[in-house]
A and B are shown apart, each in its own frame.
Chain A
Amino acid sequence: MMKREKVLIESSEVIAKDTVEMVLYSMYISDVAKPGQFIHIAVEGHTLRRPISIATVDRERETITILFKIDGSGTKQLAEYSVGKELDVIGPLGNGFPVNERDGSTILLIGGGIGVPPLYNLGKLLVKEGFNVKSILGFQTGASVFYEDYFKQLGETYVVTNDGSYGHQGFVTDVMSEVGDFDTYYSCGPIPMLKAIKERLPEKHGFLSLEERMGCGVGACYACVVKTRDEQGYKKICHDGPVFTSQEVIL
């Protein structure tokens, strides 16, 4: 259940171009958070909170790790907050990635840019439960790459950069033919990437985690909706998602 919590910044570090990794101490959120959920962070002087997905959870140390890209005044200010500061957070929000695959299945994780972090938490869980995990991580350029080593510990990992300055050149879809067979995929990243994946893998069972500009973050304001194929015609990303099956959403 979501709660409004005060969480303490334990560490904050720039780990790639404009990308900050922040570890937050929260007994409650670290205890209940599931892979794919996010927190909604208040930034002083800003009307709206910033929704940021949870990258990892450490239940022993009672911490959660978030990664965000400095991409505007809110995230810039958040990046400037120092260790020891208390953040006003609502979370955990949304429904995480559902995991109900057959034992021994091979799972492909496909992350793009700042969509990579939530897949790490999921990947760790999948490996722990005995699944084979492969990953494709896409970034704009070599300087933006992060968590490559972490994903390599989970399994075979392909890194792609749009400008070819690191790893394979191109888009995540360009290396799909190299990864071999898999049963299910989980993906998070910009909408054009998710759209390309959906078109490339029409027959595969897949889950997409969507990003959108949010208002309340709890389902009340209808700002972050996605069109769906069901009778209702839409779902709220913050409340019904952010993870959806690739078949149900119209991107």
Chain B
Amino acid sequence: MKVLIIEDNQELARNIRDFLDREGYICESCDTLEAAKEKLELFQYDCILLDIGLPDGNGISLLNLIRAEYKDSNVLIISAKNALDDKIIGLEKGADDYITKPFHLAELHARIRAVYRRKNLGGTNIVAFNEISLNTDTFEVRVLDHLLDTTPKEFDLLLYFIVNKNRVLSRQAIAAHLWGDYTDNLANFDFVYQHVKNLRRKISGAGGVDYISTVYGLGYKFNAQ
């Protein structure tokens, strides 16, 4: 997957690049609207990460251009302003999703994959890993072709794990993914623990491999090897 990161903060851009590089994505980054326009003219990208506040203008204006000229690219807006207006305008102008700073890199990755899936897989919407397959339309999980009885949050969690396989996922990142930003989820770690526990039990129960392991002190990891 080719990703263009339009973000004026070098450090943040590097974080994203470092993280996505490990997924085998080809990442390029630029820090102004002008540079972004140049890059867009020369190359084609599957996904564009667009910061709203850029030194030479508002990212929304670029969104218009992208939608007019480069229809195939997914656009994910990154904004520090959790202002409702930006969100609504951004999505109305054709952004595919919206993420607010500060985000977890795993969350960003999950979002990129989600918009990519929605657009590029053309209806199949199956995420599979070895014996586990998830249908993102029907929210069904199958392990060795057995239908697993999972709750919506467990489905979310498993998808999050598979998308971010071989990565350490902190409890904070999981809590933020499952319950969003505004809940005071410092106290939700117990729930994370219980969800993970139930999910592991269900997969093992259906004869699947228990890929999920606890990482001491930090969180969990879905081990693909």
Q: Are A and B part of the same complex? A: no
Interface residues of A (CB under 8 A from B): none
